[in-house]
Amino acid sequence: MALTGRALIASRCAKFFKDGDLVNLGIGVPLMCTNYLPEGVELWLEAEIGIVGCGPTPKWEDADPDLIDAGGQPTSVIKGGCVIDQADSFGLIRGGHVDATVLGTLQVDQEGNIANWIVPGKVVPGMGGAMDLCAGVKKIVVATDHCEKSGHSKILKKCTLPLTGAKCVTDIVTERCYFQVTPDGLVLKELAPGYTVEDIRACTDADFTVAEDLGVME
């Protein structure tokens, strides 16, 4: 059965990774990417809280209270992995040693700006490591629903919320399509099954061009 919705987003994002990559995955849909890795691709998952080599989520009865992911949920460490000082973990990120990250977002725009850490006037627990990831990682993939629950596009001409990172996003994957972010703006590279270019134009605030070799997401 063909993938849809958030499973399709995670599956498409997983195709960006190469075997042996050191990758940081955000909470939610980004973490789902590990369920759809191409054959022969194994990753080293880095958690900014201080783990290199995050493993599967354990059962509650088997969880180690000293091992948690960035969202505060139990995690594990694979063979060869390690727990490191949080300062060293951020050193890996800021030093450019993380190959790719997948982040959720509130807004993203055609210039590659991302806003995903705060809505003015609302209480949030903090920005986490997103700002460091946006500054230190070369491949920054945004995994997001195409529109808000209100129906408004989350892919804008210009972000209106406070930015997490400026002109740093390289790719945007939604349940409807995949955009590549280029110096000349967004390029529609792939459509989800059942969608047309006209459908994407109707639900996207941002401007974009269409790739000559437009493909299908899978």
Sheet of 155-156, strand order: 114-115, 107-109, 155-156
- Which of 46, 48, 111, 190 is flagged as catalytic? 48
Tally of CB atoms within 10 A around 198:
7
Yes or no: say if 189 and 180 are a contact pair by the CB < 8 Å rule. yes
Yes or no: say if 51 and 83 are a contact pair by the CB < 8 Å rule. yes
- Catalytic: 42? no
Yes or no: say if 116 and 75 are a contact pair by the CB < 8 Å rule. no
Q: Which residues contact 62 (CB under 8 A, 6 or more apart)?
A: none
- Residue 175 DSSP code: S
Instruction: Please give the distance of CA 133 from its chain centroid, rounded to a whole number.
Output: 11
DSSP string, 168-194: ---EEE-SSEEEEEETTEEEEEEE-TT
Catalytic residue set = 48
